[in-house]
Chain A
Amino acid sequence: MNALLLLAVVVSAQDTTKGKEVYVKWCAGCHGESGDSKGAAQHYMLPQPRDFTGAIYKVRSTATGNLPTDADLMYVINEGLPGTAMPAWKARLSDAERRDVMAYIKTFSSFFSDTSQHPQVLTFAGEPSGGEKAAQIGRQFYDSIGCRKCHGRDGRGDGPSAPTLKTDAGDPIFAANLHQNWLFRGGSTTDQIYHRLRTGLDGTPMPSFSDLLEQKFLTEEELWRVAQYVRSLSPEKAPEVRDVIHAPQMAGALPVSPDDSAWSKVDTYYFPLVGQIIRKPRWFAPAVTAVWVQAVHNDSMIAMRISWDDRSQSPDTAWLKFTTKVLNIMAGDDSGPVTAELWPDQLAVQFPVKLSEGMQRPYFLMGASGDPVYQWRWSSAPRRAVAGTARGIERFDSLAASGGFHGDAVYDKGQWRVVLTRALATADSTNELQFAVGRAIPVAFFAWDGSNGERGARMAVSTWYFLALDRPTPPGTFISPVIAMVVTLGLGMLVIVRAQRRGGSGGARRA
């Protein structure tokens, strides 16, 4: 009876027959019918889907090399793996379905039925309180334990070993950009970062640092400081997309240099980019995840600073093998094989040629033959910025530079910062957008990481957003609130004083 009951519990908790049904329907397309990652979609994603036959998992609570716990597997099924094609399933499948599919996934590897495997769940001391110095101390250990070798001096994944990194399967893999914690595979919190430091990300180059504690090379608190430092590199909250870039009007000259201190006072707008998967050759492995945009204008010019993280200053021969590997993996796409070359990094900022009165905008993907767009294009090599007309992805005609169009760029520890400037009005109003204050100006962005094999249609794209050149704020806007406050305060005081006089027992009088 007891045995029967136990059996019933086991069956209801994890049903691999039902799990298989869920798996075949929802998972096999990427992970393959037999769990070996040879699914129909394998050439359309990088990182590649998990091969379940080896039972090697990135996100665990257990020591390196150990199997994950059921809870570890459930976490990834529930939450997905940010920055990869693996979605969160908690809202799409029922609790029972997710548990069943987890049980079924384990059947792909004999390690899970090997009774000699005893996954060791690591136990940790809790996070020490942060404080101002925590990140600073963490930075020292970040340097001393060599994180920068892969993750780079400032953590943007641009370390000297970054171009040679590969997974156990030999696929190219990026070192995580530690400034974008919303894309961390195992979660964004300090606690989750600390877990990854202790467990490593098995199957990737990221090792476990637990041994260093056992050997007293580091204390647990010191390793927590590294996690706190890494967490401090990303913003408090994941950035949110705001549709309209507000460009304030400045008096005097605009900041034309990418590192002009004036930029630090200008609001920054975040725009995520995705792979271009509409036109062939499609691109499923974009390296540039987002651009951060600022804009200012004065009575005659506009300046726009676009910043984005890029692990390589392309072209860079150190990355050529990486480029080849990326292109080989993605070659299953219908576009056919491509030979890697030393391509530059590129950026395009796109506007309509003319501002329309209605909501009509050209096709976002670089317009069309009868419906051109006006673009600013910047390239790292040869280092130049050109303005021109695009009529679809394939056709770009540069325009004779008018309006003093100019670009200036710096590459600094894994980040490009490019400033593009132009006169608001130009002589060629037929082909060049005339920037108008107070209008909603459609704008879109495109980026290429040459070292990731990106060129032409193999690029990262945004949708249309808007740019608004704000009118100067009338001085009254700032002064009138102050006057209002003074008046309110004064009136308030008057009321109090009157009330006290009437009551005849004011504390002020006794004092």
Chain B
Amino acid sequence: MRRFGAVAAVGAGLVVLALAVARHPAGAASDGATVTGKVKLVGKAPANPAIDMGEEPKCKGKYTTGPVDPAVLAKNGMLANVFVYVKTGLPADAKYPAPSTPVEIDQNGCLYHPRVFGIMVGQGLSIKNSDGVLHNIKALGKKNRPFNISQPTNMVTQRPGFTVTEVMLPFECNVHGWMHAFAGVQPHPFFATTGEDGSFALKGLPPGTYTIEAWHEKFGVQTATVTVKAGETKASDFTFTAK
């Protein structure tokens, strides 16, 4: 009975701790600072190449207009699918536990969704095949070990994810040579991928001076230095130029 009580107490303690962690995920303290901004594209966006999905009617059927490889998504001068992350500036000894929910990448219409995403070191990766056609998923890690698995039908495969920081870690399908995705593997949760409006927000940052990097698969990288105080929100825009 006494032993049960002790176990219960420890258990309750763990629950409280878990709730506390859940309420205040790593770094997202109430006094956390935010770096927000927009990523712009100046110049004429290059046309995305058309994809011939003739061999895969199941995928082709998911498009009303001819599918294209969406390498550059720019609308009203705003650039989507830019990976923005804190490159340096966090306390050297800071440790950020990976979320227990995995990142999901879906193969739908013989394209990856999302195409550009962040994932924490140690965070699981859930790979989904919504196409019902054979895909192989090859992760071409250089700092991380690579892998290459197959999904011949509609299914979900759980992978353990990655062990060290890597920007960016490419994914490809060799059955459909046009399929590309890019993962930014980070030891912390301060990363975001720009949406259609080109905007991003890195929330819950501790006060400090940070090097923020913005990465795009066609236009390379841009960096900015931002200093934030506790609770402060600062804007930092990036501009890529299409040649």
Query: Does B71 count as interface, using CB distance less than 8 angstroms?
Result: no
| Chain B binding surface, main DSSP class | loop
Is A164 a contact of B177 with CB atoms below 8 Å? Answer: yes
Query: Chain A contacts of B239 at CB under 8 A?
Result: none
Query: Chain B contacts of A166 at CB under 8 A?
Result: 174, 177
Which one, A54, A67, A203, A208, contacts B150 given CB within 8 A?
A208
Query: Chain B contacts of A65 at CB under 8 A?
Result: 139, 141, 145-148
> A149: nearest residue on chain B (CB-CB)?
B175
Query: Does B236 count as interface, using CB distance less than 8 angstroms?
Result: no
Query: Chain B contacts of A165 at CB under 8 A?
Result: 174, 177
Which one, B148, B152, B163, B174, contacts A64 given CB within 8 A?
B148
Of the candidates A144, A210, A212, the one having the most CB atoms from chain B within 10 angstroms of its own CB is A212
Q: Which residues 48-95 in B have Cβ within 8 Å of A in the complex?
A: 55
> A111: nearest residue on chain B (CB-CB)?
B145
Interface string of B139-161 (1 = CB under 8 A from A): 11110011111111101010000
Question: In the complex, A217 Cα to B140 Cα: how many Å?
Answer: 25
Is A217 a contact of B134 with CB atoms below 8 Å? Answer: no
> A209: nearest residue on chain B (CB-CB)?
B150
Query: Does A160 count as interface, using CB distance less than 8 angstroms?
Result: yes
Q: Which residues 191-248 in A have Cβ within 8 Å of B in the complex?
A: 200, 202-203, 205-212, 215, 217
Is A145 a contact of B145 with CB atoms below 8 Å? Answer: no
> B150: nearest residue on chain A (CB-CB)?
A207
> B133: nearest residue on chain A (CB-CB)?
A146
> A119: nearest residue on chain B (CB-CB)?
B145
Query: Chain A contacts of B175 at CB under 8 A?
Result: 146, 149-150, 161, 205
Q: Which residues 149-203 in A have Cβ within 8 Å of B in the complex?
A: 149-150, 160-161, 164-166, 168, 200, 202-203
Chain B nearest CB from A175 CB (Å) reads: 9
Query: Does B108 count as interface, using CB distance less than 8 angstroms?
Result: no
Query: Does B36 count as interface, using CB distance less than 8 angstroms?
Result: no
Is A207 a contact of B163 with CB atoms below 8 Å? Answer: no
Is A212 a contact of B150 with CB atoms below 8 Å? Answer: yes
Query: Chain A contacts of B146 at CB under 8 A?
Result: 56, 64-65, 168, 202-203
Is B138 a contact of A205 with CB atoms below 8 Å? Answer: yes
Which one, A67, A146, A200, contacts B149 given CB within 8 A?
A200
Query: Chain B contacts of A66 at CB under 8 A?
Result: 145
Query: Does B176 count as interface, using CB distance less than 8 angstroms?
Result: yes
Question: In the complex, A161 Cα to B136 Cα: how many Å?
Answer: 12
Question: In the complex, A64 Cα to B142 Cα: how many Å?
Answer: 14
Interface string of B108-150 (1 = CB under 8 A from A): 0000000000000000000000000110111111100111111
Query: Chain A contacts of B142 at CB under 8 A?
Result: 54
B residues contacting the other copy or chain, number (CB 8 A): 26
Chain B nearest CB from A133 CB (Å) reads: 22
Question: In the complex, A117 Cα to B141 Cα: how many Å?
Answer: 14
Q: Which residues 405-446 in A have Cβ within 8 Å of B in the complex?
A: none
Chain A nearest CB from B210 CB (Å) reads: 28
Which one, A149, A208, A217, contacts B148 given CB within 8 A?
A208
Query: Does A115 count as interface, using CB distance less than 8 angstroms?
Result: no
Question: In the complex, A422 Cα to B61 Cα: how many Å?
Answer: 52
Query: Chain A contacts of B176 at CB under 8 A?
Result: 161
> B127: nearest residue on chain A (CB-CB)?
A211
A111-B145, A164-B177 known; A149+B150 contact, CB < 8 A: no
Query: Chain B contacts of A2 at CB under 8 A?
Result: none
Query: Chain A contacts of B152 at CB under 8 A?
Result: 144-146, 212, 217
Is A217 a contact of B153 with CB atoms below 8 Å? Answer: yes
Query: Does A116 count as interface, using CB distance less than 8 angstroms?
Result: yes
Question: In the complex, A427 Cα to B144 Cα: how many Å?
Answer: 71
Chain B nearest CB from A321 CB (Å) reads: 9
Is B157 a contact of A211 with CB atoms below 8 Å? Answer: yes
Is B136 a contact of A205 with CB atoms below 8 Å? Answer: yes
Is A116 a contact of B163 with CB atoms below 8 Å? Answer: yes
Chain B nearest CB from A28 CB (Å) reads: 23
Is B145 a contact of A117 with CB atoms below 8 Å? Answer: yes
> A218: nearest residue on chain B (CB-CB)?
B152
Of the candidates B55, B174, B175, the one having the most CB atoms from chain A within 10 angstroms of its own CB is B174
Chain B nearest CB from A121 CB (Å) reads: 15
Question: In the complex, A54 Cα to B55 Cα: how many Å?
Answer: 33
Question: In the complex, A146 Cα to B134 Cα: how many Å?
Answer: 6
Is A146 a contact of B150 with CB atoms below 8 Å? Answer: yes
Query: Chain A contacts of B151 at CB under 8 A?
Result: 211
Is B150 a contact of A161 with CB atoms below 8 Å? Answer: no
Is A207 a contact of B138 with CB atoms below 8 Å? Answer: yes
Query: Chain A contacts of B140 at CB under 8 A?
Result: 168
> A321: nearest residue on chain B (CB-CB)?
B177
Is B174 a contact of A205 with CB atoms below 8 Å? Answer: yes
Is B157 a contact of A208 with CB atoms below 8 Å? Answer: no
Query: Chain A contacts of B157 at CB under 8 A?
Result: 211, 215
Question: In the complex, A206 Cα to B157 Cα: how many Å?
Answer: 17
Question: In the complex, A66 Cα to B150 Cα: how many Å?
Answer: 16
Query: Chain A contacts of B139 at CB under 8 A?
Result: 65
Query: Chain A contacts of B145 at CB under 8 A?
Result: 65-67, 111, 117
Is B148 a contact of A202 with CB atoms below 8 Å? Answer: yes
Q: Which residues 158-201 in B have Cβ within 8 Å of A in the complex?
A: 163, 174-177
> A167: nearest residue on chain B (CB-CB)?
B174
Question: In the complex, A202 Cα to B174 Cα: how many Å?
Answer: 13
Question: In the complex, A294 Cα to B142 Cα: how many Å?
Answer: 50
> A148: nearest residue on chain B (CB-CB)?
B134
Question: In the complex, A209 Cα to B163 Cα: how many Å?
Answer: 23
Is B177 a contact of A207 with CB atoms below 8 Å? Answer: no
A149-B175, A211-B149 known; A217+B155 contact, CB < 8 A: yes
Chain B nearest CB from A145 CB (Å) reads: 4
Question: In the complex, A166 Cα to B134 Cα: how many Å?
Answer: 17
Query: Chain B contacts of A215 at CB under 8 A?
Result: 155, 157
Interface string of A132-148 (1 = CB under 8 A from B): 00000000000011100
Which one, B137, B155, B174, contacts A164 given CB within 8 A?
B174
Q: Which residues of B contact A (CB under 8 A)?
A: 55, 133-134, 136-142, 145-153, 155, 157, 163, 174-177
Q: Which residues of A contact B (CB under 8 A)?
A: 54, 56, 64-67, 111, 116-117, 144-146, 149-150, 160-161, 164-166, 168, 200, 202-203, 205-212, 215, 217
> Can you give 16 contacting A-B residue pairs, CB < 8 Å?
A54-B142, A65-B147, A111-B145, A145-B134, A145-B150, A146-B175, A149-B175, A150-B174, A164-B177, A165-B177, A202-B148, A205-B175, A206-B148, A207-B137, A212-B150, A212-B152
Q: Besides A145-B150, A146-B175, A207-B148, 11 other CB < 8 A contacts?
A: A65-B145, A144-B152, A146-B150, A160-B55, A200-B148, A202-B146, A207-B137, A208-B148, A208-B150, A212-B150, A217-B152
| Cβ-closest 7 pairs across A and B | A146-B134, A205-B174, A164-B177, A65-B147, A207-B136, A207-B150, A65-B145
